[in-house]
Amino acid sequence: MTMTKPTVLELAIDLINRDSITPEDKGCQERITEILEEVGFQAEYLPFEDVQNLWIRKGTQHPVVVFAGHTDVVPTGPVDCWSSPPFEATVKDGLLYGRGAADMKSSVAAFTLACREFVEKHPDHKGSLALLITSDEEGPSINGTVKVCEVLKQRQEHIDYCIVGEPTSSKAFGDTIKNGRRGSLTGTLTIKGKQGHVAYPEKVRNPIHLSAQAIADLSAQVWDNGNDYFPPTTFQISNYHSGTGATNVVPGTATVIFNFRFSTASTPESLKKTVHSILDKYHLDYDLDWVLGGEPFLTETGNLTKAIQQAILDTTGITAELNTVGGTSDGRFIAKICPQVIEFGPINASIHQLNEHIAVDDLEPLKEIYKKTLSNLLL
């Protein structure tokens, strides 16, 4: 028996009402499966530890178009500071309020229904459609999309185009497409000195003093000049810890935590090499631990960017710009197995904030943009 197909608003409300704080899914993926199995999609659940992942596909031919997203959300913050309960979706003054409304349950609802409606209207379309959904995007991102991509790679299941439903719009709905993201590289640097009494400087090695010039050089370093799509790589210190709490003691160590947001003009290896060369120039005794949060990815102008730009123009009258600003996303994992990855979704002004929301009037157009993009790629 065929179920009644919900509207985007109805499905978004259904998903928002599920308190799927990372890494919980709370049945969101099962609801998506119910809607798509009715039009021939075949679902495969790929759980890893406490993370739920869904790979649901229709068709076996190329090109393969994938919508990627997440059903997990960040914590609400103080619930009593919300204008309405964060997991009771509320429509007020034309806005849909609730945790995940913008990031990104509305996008998931929109592309789920776009896929269903596209298949219903064009049952003989070329290629294949698939959704990759995780409950680990807002968390450590260890057992989510990255693991599913590893499975797909092992099975030699290739993806041609991927649209990630991240909230990318800035001032107006439809104004921005992300065609890449910067990489993130974090270093934890421990400068070793010798603790002692401030009154006997000849008996101590102050790690704060010792590291000062090196830190100045790191801060002034030009790492690259960026390129046509990316701004220059940036270096920022986020934490500096030293001292014993006493005013008359020189500390024995100083710990500096810094981060690079880097473009495709640099590599993790090139950044590490330059950092070590600057530190070694000052003959510092140090330990340095690195964590690569994500490598940059870039999709240059091509079939996918043109398809979705045209869909946005036809739906909203806006010519969307391509840019790469912002933090990391699961696109960095998908780009390893897919040559063209972009992100597009609603306005991002309220994401992760109290009273997160999306304009109700943007929901159906979001679905239409996703659906028209499919038409531009698969018809």
The C-alpha angle 167, 171, 174, rounded to 5 degrees, equals: 55
- The position carrying tokens 């807002």 is 138
pLDDT in tens, 89-131: 999 999 999 999 999 999 999 999 999 999 999 999 999 999 9
State the Cα–Cα distance between residues 240 and 332, nearest whole angstrom: 29
pLDDT of residue 157: 94
Record the pTM.
0.88
Q: How far apart are CA 89 and CA 69, in angstroms?
A: 20
pLDDT-derived band of residue 1, with 50, 70 and 90 as boundaries? very low
Q: Residue 99, SS3?
A: coil
- Where do the domains of the chain lie, and which CATH numbers do they carry? 8-181+296-378 (3.40.630.10), 183-294 (3.30.70.360)
Residue pLDDT, tens place only, 271-316? 999 999 999 999 999 999 999 988 899 999 999 999 999 999 999 9
User: Any bridge partners for residue 185, and if so which?
Assistant: 260, 292
Contact 116, 36 (CB under 8 A): yes
CA distance 17 to 375: 31
The annotation places the binding site for Zn(2+) at 70, 103, 138, 166, 352
Residues with catalytic annotation? 72, 137
Kind of pairing between the strands at 234-242 and 253-262: antiparallel
> What CA–CA distances, in Å, run from 263 to 54, 260, 370?
30, 9, 28
- Whether the per-residue pLDDT at 358 is higher than 80: the answer is yes
User: From the centroid of its chain, how far is CA 300?
Assistant: 19
Specify binding-site residues. Answer: 70, 103, 138, 166, 352
Backbone angles phi, psi at 103, to 5 degrees: -130, 90
